[in-house]
Each structure stands twice: as C-alpha cells, then as structure tokens.
Structure 1
Amino acid sequence: MTSQSQGIQQLLQAEKRAKDKLEEAKKIFGNKLRQAKEEATAEIDHYRLQREKEFRNKQTNVMGSQGNLSAKMEEQTAETIQNLTSSYHKNMESTMKKLLSTICDINPEVHPNFRHAV
C-alpha cells in the first residue's frame, strides 16, 4: 500500500508540476501576445504619422497653403473690380452719347404703309 500511495503521491505531484508549468506557459504566452500587440500598435501609429506627414506635404505642394489661396483670390477680385471700373469710366461717355443721339435725334417720316387719301 505504501508503494501505491507513494505512486499516487508522485502522480499528484507530477500533475501539480504540469499544472504549474501550464499556468506559467499561459502567462508567458499572454505577456508575449500583449507585447506583440503593443509593438504592432506602435508601428501602426508610426506608419500613420509618416503617411499623414507625406500627405500634408503633397497637399501643400499641389494646392498651396490656404492663406496663400485666400490672398490670391482677394488680389484677383480687386484686379477684376479695378478693370471693370476703368472700363466703365472709359466707355460711359461714348455710350451715353449714342443713347442720347438715338433717343433725341428723331427724323419724322411717313410710314410706308400710310395711304394718302386723295
């Protein structure tokens, strides 16, 4: 009986050691998994920041800065307004003369369809 109980004790101890080793392996696996996840997240963040920086550089090169676009638009608008104003002042007098001559210079004529009663 003692040998049987010793055998059972050895089996129980072996089972306990196996359980402990399994628990430790699970902890190690969990730590490695967590570490791999953290490294992957850091790498993803680094890649994302790099791509966003490249995108902003390309956007700036293609479109220019917003302040620059706004200033260009204001400059073009002011130039257009100035051109229209100068064109108005240049053509106003000649247009008014043509308009007044058309309205005021009346040449009375008999309409061709008017039949003179005899």
Structure 2
Amino acid sequence: MSAQQSQGIQTLLEAEKAAAKIVQEARQYRVQKLKDARTEAEKEIEEYKKSKEDEFKKFQASRDGTTSQAQASVDKDTEVKLKSITESYGSNKDTVVQKLLDRVTQVKPELHKNLRKA
C-alpha cells in the first residue's frame, strides 16, 4: 500500500505543479493584457489630443483675422479720442489757467454760513 500511496502523493505533487504553472501563466497573461491595454489607451489618448490640438489651431486661425481687425478698430478709435482730447486741451488750457489764477488771487473773505452772530 505504500507504493500506491507514494504514487498517489506523486500524482498530487505533479497536479499541484501543473496547477501552479497554469496559475503563473494566467498571471503573466493578465499582466501582458494590462500592458497591452495601457499601450492602446495611450495611443488613443495621443490621437484624441492631436485631433483636439488640430481643432484648436483651426479655430485659432479662423479667429486671428477678426482679432487683428478688432485690434485695428480699437487702435483707430483710441487715436481719434486722443486727438480730440489733445485738441480740447490746447483750446481750453489758457481759459482754465486764468480761472484758477482768478480764484487764487481774488479772495473774498466771508463768514461761514453756519456761523451765527452772537
């Protein structure tokens, strides 16, 4: 019976080795599938990123013309307003300076309206 028992133990050991080998192969297969999935996901991410960058560049190129036109319009308006302010300054500066001098030099002392006569 010991030979038969030895043979049974030997069979169990071989089956255990085979099972361990199958488990190891399954783990390696799983690891390989995870690597493949990561690689595939990175490729998809890069493709998506590239497509969005191209889309943004097209959008930006389509808006560049309107941006430069808007900038030119703002520059023109600024120039017109600056010219108007400069002309207004030139025509009114003498009058303003004279009014300031008159106020400073012609002081009329008066009692404050809140001051009561005692």
After TM superposition, give the deviation of residue 63 of structure 1 in Å.
2.6
> Is structure 2 residue 21 aligned with structure 1 residue 12?
no
SS of equivalent residue, structure 1 residue 64: helix
Determine what percentage of the aligned residue pairs are the same residue. Answer: 11
Cα shift at 1:50: 0.6
RMSD: 3.2
The match for 2:37 is 40
1:101 matched to which residue of 2?
none
TM-score (norm. length: structure 2): 0.61
Give the letter aligned to residue 28 of structure 1.
E
- Kindly provide the CA deviation profile for residues 36-75 of structure 1, in whole angstroms up to 9, marking residues without a partner as x: 000000000010011011001101111339xx58x73654
1:61 aligns with 2:58: yes
Encode CA deviations 1:7-48: one digit per residue, 9 max, x unaligned.
Answer: 101100000000000110011000010000000000000100
Q: Report the Cα distance in structure 1 between the residues aligned to 2:3 and 2:76, rounded to whole angstroms.
A: 104
Report how many aligned residue pairs link the two structures. Answer: 89
In structure 1, list runs of 5 or more residues that go unmatched.
97-118
Unaligned runs of 5+ in 2: 93-118
